[in-house]
Structure formats: C-alpha cells, structure tokens
C-alpha cells in the first residue's frame, strides 16, 4: 500500500514540467535596481557638485555598468535556477 502511494507521488511529480534556466531574469534581481540607483546618484552628484565634472561621472557610470555586467555573467555561470512561478 505504501508503494502505491509512493508510485503515485513519483508519477504526479514527474508529469509536471519543470523548466530550468541558469538564473533569474535581471529585472527580478536587486542588482539591477541597485545599479540604476547608483547611476542616478552619480549623475545627480555630477550635476550639483562643482568639483565633479562630466567625464569623471560618465567614467564612474561605465565602471558601475561594467561591474553589473560582470556580476550577471558570474551569476549566469553559476548554478541553475528552477522557475517556480509557472
């Protein structure tokens, strides 16, 4: 009797499709929102401060964007993500 229940459980879990992708989409992570916030803060600081010029601000924005791309690349090269939203 216990084996029949176990077989039913295995059959129902095996019949449900499970999708795998490498990581969560970028819009579901806090890294994207953090990067956007930092970029906005850099641009506001560049606009309001006299000693913080545009080339330095855009260089910092490029560094932040590059760091974000490296972080997403490292996340995608890591483990798998099971999409449980479906």
- Residue range 49-75, pLDDT digits in tens: 999 999 999 999 999 999 998 988 887
Q: What is the pLDDT of residue 67?
A: 93
Q: What is the pLDDT of residue 85?
A: 61
Q: What is the pLDDT of residue 22?
A: 56
**What pTM was computed for the model?**
0.60
Q: How many CB atoms lie within 10 A of CB 77?
A: 9
Q: What is the pLDDT of residue 46?
A: 93
Q: Are 69 and 6 a contacting pair, CB within 8 Å?
A: no
Instruction: Give the whole-number percent of the chain exceeding pLDDT 90.
Output: 35
Please provide the DSSP assignment of the chain as one string.
Answer: -HHHHHHHHHHHHHHS---EESS--GGGSHHHHHHHHHHHHHHHHHHH-SSS-HHHHHHHHHHHHHHHHHHHHHHHHS--EE----
Distance CA(72)–CA(26), nearest Å, equals 8
- pLDDT beyond 90 at 41: yes
């Amino acid at each position: 009797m216990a084996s029949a229940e176990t077989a039913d459980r295995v059959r129902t879990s095996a019949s449900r499709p499970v999708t795998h992708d490498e990581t969560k989409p970028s819009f579901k992570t806090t890294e994207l929102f953090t990067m956007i916030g930092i970029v906005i803060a850099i641009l506001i600081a560049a606009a309001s401060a006299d000693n913080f010029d545009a080339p330095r601000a855009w260089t910092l924005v490029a560094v932040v964007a590059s760091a974000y791309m490296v972080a997403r690349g490292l996340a995608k090269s890591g483990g798998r993500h099971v999409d449980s939203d479906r």
